[in-house]
Chains A and B, each alone.
Chain A
Amino acid sequence: MTSITIDSESSAPQGGRVLSRSQIFWSKFYRHKLAVVSLGFILFLYAIVLIAEFVAPYDPFQRHTDHLLAPPTAITFFDADGDFHLRPFVHALKNELNRETFQREYMVDTSVRYKISLFVEGEPYNLFGFIPMDTHFFGVEGDGKIFLAGTDTLGRDLFSRMLFGARTSLFVGLFGLAIGFGLGLFFGGISGYFGGAVDNFVQRLTEFLQSLPTLPLWMALAALVPPHWTPIQVYFGISTILAVVGWTTLARVVRGKLLSLREEDYVMAAKVSGVSEAKIITNHLLPGFMSYLIVHLTLAVPQMILGEVALSFLGLGLRPPAVSLGTLLIDSQNIQTLVFSPWLLVPGGLIIIIVIAFSFLGDGLRDAADPYRS
């Protein structure tokens, strides 16, 4: 079977125009609509969490003591009389004890309306840590409260906490990935480059690590994080732990690709025709390698995120008051609470969406990078 992807350098044949490697890559990638949407979503999300202070209506630690475990606030355009209002608004929530179940219940007070506005003034904060501001992207006027995802057991706004949690988790993912990437490149690189005994040793080591169940290993390693560490230290500690267990796949990928690339016909051909070593690496090896690496890195990010979530959920990862998608789920461990306040699982929904977006993106990149798929 002949592949029709031909390097851009080869002379254009008469008749048909042959696309270059990167043109083919992008045109295939754009055909993968889900991947394009996912890429947009991921970029959007990273942008949002960087300015979480601005987007979140409340401080993540602010306790709304009248609104413990309040359900998500409904946003409506129609008031109690059925009249339409152009500006959406929310109603007030009243907190009552149900005398039969002895559960606290929230009643919507439809007589009170609070309009939703953009760019409202609220709690002061420092954007990016140094720009003092007090404008929030949205909020309600007056005494009204808006909890898009409800509140937790301490009355903190889950939506705001999710933004901050996503920030932590998304960057733990990247940070763990960077460490794992370094380790994987190092071990895969020496393995593929030196071969022989070094290769054999690294192979055995990765095989060994891969044959161990990941989560228990993470759990045991997480126990090594001293309890007196600051949240920042814990943060880096956990990232490192995720990476130490997770570098093996990448090392295998790097090694396998290095070995196979060395044998590729086009590299041979370049060598034979006297192209310099540096040029071979930049023109031939790197492009083939980069797309491959990017695909694997994309698919590895969600693994890191899920690792952090699992560990924090078990109480072994990041610890409150640190906010991450995992720590937000700790509250939902109590089934009784969860049955009455199912919105506590909303951060879980965000996790799922993030992971799905990364996998679609990874799939799209992989299909686009695969020269044998049209």
Chain B
Amino acid sequence: MLSYTVRRLGYMIVNLTLISIVCFYIINLPPGSFIETYSTQLDAAGSPASQAQLDYLTARYGLDQPLYVQYWNWIVPLVTQGDFGYSFEWQQPVWTLLADRLWLTIIFSIVSMVFVYAVSIPVALYSATHQYSFGDYSVNLLGVIGLAVPNFLLALLLLVGSAKFFGVTPTGLYSPQYMNAPWSWDKFVDLLIHLPVPVVVVGLAGTAATIRILRSQLLDEFQKQYVITARAKGVPERRLLMKYPFRVALNPIISTAGHLLPEIVSGSTIVAIVLGLPTIGPLLLRSIIAQDTYVAASSLMMLGVLTVVGVVMSDILLTILDPRVRMNRTN
């Protein structure tokens, strides 16, 4: 168990390193130095950068050195001092831009996951136990639709609908008065009030997918010999269902967390852009368009880190819960 956890954490570190390399290369792939981009930007804005400033930046990022040295110079302060670089567009250290958004992204993703499971588990149970019933067909149909509607389109529909019928567009995660206020209980409550709409929008596809997976898992489990054994010994149907197939089918669900989390983070990126949520997504888009490279790389990297860490956590949880997996993995 312990050795598995250690090994899994080892993989995680390898993956995090890979992510950082990917992000770093994305910074460096576009032709031309970003210092040039930066100075042309400043020129265009009418306040040309001083040569000293440009020299400082060149030295800071060691742009005259080979790529692996540059990578090293970039990753070391990042890991040791949390120095993610500097935003040319915002004229701020990247971390100050990112910190709040990172927390909101984490909170938002967790709440969305909870929503997905809270809805999909009971619905899938119902659907699987009432196979081919009207309810089951409706669930399937809704599931297909849920998977087919791009979530940003759903967000747009919601915005238009609420503008039409209520005269307001429910964007953002806070009311205006809390936008830049320090954290307080009231601000937290305000956040909770604003969460449901985006959570539902982001969670819809994941919910539909999870219902599908869990339903077919359950139907598969129903056929298994151990269920027949339990039935043959006189266990009442309802108890049988909860104790055996559901329990066994729950494991894949926990392991789907590994797919669900990246999906939620991915989906929330675009929904956040449409709904104007102060999470990492809109920052990423804006920095990509503005070629604010350090912000872009750091945002992408934080999203990657978030999912990789989440997946590892769900894997370790699965190992704790499933004796079979535990056996396979520990020896």
State the A residues within 8 Å of B (CB): 1, 204, 208, 210-217, 219-224, 226, 302, 306, 309-310, 313-316, 329, 332-333, 335, 338-339, 342, 345, 348, 351-352, 355-356, 359-360, 363
* Interfacial chain B residues near A217, Cβ < 8 Å: 300, 304
Stretch from B244-252, B258-266, B321-329 at the A interface? B258-266
Interface string of B150-176 (1 = CB under 8 A from A): 101100110110011000010000000
Q: In whole angstroms, what is the CA distance A222 to B269 when docked? A: 15
**Given A215-B270, A217-B300, are A339 and B148 neighbors across the interface (CB < 8 Å)?**
no
A212-B304 contact given A335-B169, A339-B160, CB 8 Å threshold: yes
Bound Cα distance A214, B269 (Å)? 10
Stretch at the interface among B40-48, B65-73, B118-126, B282-290: B282-290
Residues of chain A within 8 A of B281, CB atoms compared: 216
Contacts of A302 in B (CB 8 A): 148
- B30 contacts A by Cβ under 8 Å: yes
Chain A's closest residue to B19 (CB) is A212
Cα separation A250 to B231 with both chains bound (whole Å): 38
30 contacts between A and B (CB under 8 A): A204-B11, A204-B14, A211-B15, A211-B258, A211-B304, A214-B262, A214-B263, A215-B270, A216-B265, A220-B26, A220-B284, A220-B288, A221-B26, A222-B288, A306-B150, A310-B150, A313-B152, A314-B273, A315-B289, A335-B163, A338-B156, A338-B160, A345-B156, A348-B153, A348-B156, A352-B145, A352-B148, A356-B144, A359-B144, A363-B144
Q: Which 8 A-B pairs have the closest CB atoms?
A: A355-B148, A213-B266, A213-B265, A215-B266, A348-B153, A356-B148, A223-B288, A213-B262
Answer yes or no: B206 CB below 8 A from chain A CBs. Answer: no
CA distance A39 to B28 in the complex (A): 45
The distance from the CB of B255 to the nearest CB of chain A, in whole angstroms, is: 12
**Least distance between B279 CB and chain A CB atoms (Å):** 11
Q: Looking at the assembled complex, report how far the CB atom of A8 sits from the nearest CB atom of chain B, in whole angstroms.
A: 26
Shortest Cβ distance from A360 into B: residue? B144
Q: Specify which chain A residues have a CB less than 8 angstroms from the CB of B263 in the assembled complex.
A: 213-214
Please name the residue on chain B nearest to A214 by beta carbon: B266
Query: Is there a chain A Cβ closer than 8 Å to B210's Cβ?
Result: no
Query: Is B53 in contact with chain A by the CB < 8 A criterion?
Result: no
A217, closest chain B residue (CB) = B300
B156 to chain A, nearest CB (A): 6
B308 at the interface (CB under 8 A from A): yes
